[in-house]
Amino acid sequence: MGRELISPELVDRCKAGDETAWRELVEATHREVYTLCLRILRDPDDAAEATQDAYLKAWKALGGFRGEAMFTTWLYRVAANTAISKHRTRARRRTHEIGIGDEVLGQIAASGSAETAATSRIEVAELERAIARLPEHYRTAVVLRDVYGLGIEEIAKQQRISATAAKVRVHRGRKKLKELVYPETTQEGE
Amino acid sequence: MSVTDLTHAEVREILPAYVRDGSDSLTVRRHLAGCSECRSELARYEDLLGALATMGSVTAEPPPSLVASLRQIPHSAGTIEQVRTHLARNRRTYLSGAAVVAAGVAGAALLRTRRQTAPA
């Protein structure tokens, strides 16, 4: 995620309470934020609720954004934090994991397959399916690190674990994901 | 093979971290230089991380009602907060109320069943 969708000027206008600027900001970022929540929560209703909470938090905390990181990275951090909290609450409420439906997978995979196909031999839909099959704690760590570019310290803070444990989750998550995407190359005992 | 050389299994255990951050690991580099199998394995990880990096721009379309509510946040933020605070503070009261209603419904159903089954 190297590209910045939001200019510092737009952020400044939002900070000043400019509602037109806020609508522009929402327009430019809401799909990414909703998809991030969907990848963590795997349920469209929960993802929509988390997205709304994340933007509400972002609106209230905008004054504290000093421009040290990219705005979208800051927004992803807020969204990831909200989605992870929601996941924790949901896990207490429900004992079983909700499986991501093919319809949801198709929704994510449909719009960006061309861009990804140009840079990798792995199909987007196949990768989404493999990500969905990862155990929850590995999935969240890999998605935040390798899809949204968050740092290990940040992931550790959000998942309430040590940096070493976060590093281990990313490491094992990548290994497991590689095994799912390339099953024919996985040796017995790995 | 010297004592500092790594086995295939050891290298494969390191690769998930090496693929992004481990360019200065001399022992791994030395093994990779002479091992085409482990180089292929590294290429798979590189491909995987490349695909993951592009996935941030692969997005799902949120429900239109969500987008509309996000646009309204400057107007609705205060109201939403008030409603949430109110619900959180009065959660016990609302839950008790719901329990009373549920008990009433169950009681009425029981009475109706008894009347229907009672001998005329």
- In the DSSP assignment, the letter for residue B57 is G
> Quick one: closest CA in B to A109, which residue?
B58
DSSP B62: P
- Nearest-by-Cβ selection for A122 from B47, B67, B73: B47
Kindly report the CATH number assigned to the domain that includes residue A71: 1.10.1740.10
Cβ-based neighbours of A188, under 8 Å, separated by 6 or more: none
Question: Chain B partners of A177 at a C-beta cutoff of 8 Å?
Answer: 48
**Cα B19 from Cα A165, distance rounded (Å):** 19
Q: Is residue A172 part of a domain?
A: no
pLDDT exceeding 70 applies to what percent of chain A? Answer: 80
- Chain A contact for B3, CB < 8 A? no
Whether A168 maps to a domain, the answer reads no
* pLDDT-based confidence at residue A101 (cuts at 50, 70, 90): low
Whether residue A39 lies inside any domain: the answer is yes
Put simply, the answer to whether B59 touches A31 (Cβ < 8 Å) is yes
Residue-level pLDDT at A98: 47
Question: B63 vs A109: CB contact, 8 Å cut-off?
Answer: no
Confirm or reject contact between B19 and chain A (CB < 8 A): yes
Residue type for position A43 = D
CA-wise closest residue to A26 among B57, B55, B66 = B66
- Give the number of C-alpha atoms closer than 13 A to the C-alpha of residue A26, restricted to the C-beta side: 24
pLDDT band at A117 (very low <50, low <70, confident <90, very high): very low
Pick from B36, B58, B67, B81 the residue to mutate for testing the A interface (most A CBs within 10 Å): B58
How far is A51 from A75, CA to CA, in rounded Å?
11
For the purposes of burial, counting CB atoms within 10 Å of the CB of A182, is it exposed (0-12), middle (13-18) or buried (19 or more)?
middle
The DSSP code for B93 is: H
Is residue A17 situated within a structural domain? yes
* Average pLDDT of the residues of chain A: 84
pLDDT less than 50: residues of chain B: none
CB distance B73–A51 less than 8 Å? no
User: Which residue in chain A is spatially nearest to B71 when comparing CA positions?
Assistant: A23
* Rounded average pLDDT over A137-151: 92
Q: Positive or negative, the Cα torsion across B93, B94, B99, B101?
A: positive
Determine whether the interchain pair A23/B71 forms a contact, defined as Cβ–Cβ distance below 8 Å: yes
The arithmetic mean of pLDDT across residues A112-128, rounded, is 65
Q: Could you tell me the two tokens for B2?
A: 């010297």
Mean pLDDT along residues A87-99: 62
DSSP state of B61: P
Cβ of B60 and A181 within 8 Å? no
Residue A40, domain extent: 1-99
Among the ranges given (A32-46, A55-69, A140-154, B90-104), the one the predictor scored with the smallest mean pLDDT: B90-104
Nearest-by-CA chain B residue for A185: B41
Whole-model pTM above 0.90?
Answer: no
pLDDT in tens, A55-91: 999 999 998 898 888 899 899 999 999 999 998 887 6
Q: Is residue A52 part of a domain?
A: yes
CB pairs under 8 A between A and B: 131
pLDDT at A111: 52
The complex's ipTM? 0.78
b/e map A119-153, b = 16+ CB within 10 Å: ebebebbebbbbbbebeeebbbbbbbbbbbbbebe
Q: Would you call B56 and A1 a contact, using CB atoms and an 8 Å cutoff?
A: yes
Q: Give the mean pLDDT of A115-126.
A: 67
What pLDDT is attached to residue A4? 73
Q: What is the DSSP annotation of chain A?
A: -----S-HHHHHHHHTT-HHHHHHHHHHHHHHHHHHHHHHH--HHHHHHHHHHHHHHHHHHGGG--SSS-HHHHHHHHHHHHHHHHHHHHHHH-SSPPPPPHHHHHHHHHHHHHHHHHH-SS-HHHHHHHHHHS-HHHHHHHIIIIIS---HHHHHHHHTS-HHHHHHHHHHHHHHHHHHH-GGGPPTT-
> Chain B contacts of A113, Cβ < 8 Å?
58
Res A103: pLDDT: 58
Q: How many CB atoms lie within 10 A of CB A16?
A: 9
Report pLDDT for B6: 85
Q: Which residues of A touch B51 (CB under 8 A)?
A: 116, 119-120, 122, 124, 127
Chain A contacts in chain B segment 78-117 (CB below 8 A): 80-81
In a domain, A167, yes or no: no
Q: Give the number of domains in chain A.
A: 1
What's residue A188's pLDDT? 53
Closest-CA residue of B relative to A32 is B59
- A136 occurs within a structural domain: no
In a domain, A59, yes or no: yes
Residues of B in contact with A31 (CB under 8 A): 59-62
- Cβ proximity of A147 and B100 under 8 Å: no
Cα(A105)–Cα(A98) distance, rounded to whole angstroms?
13
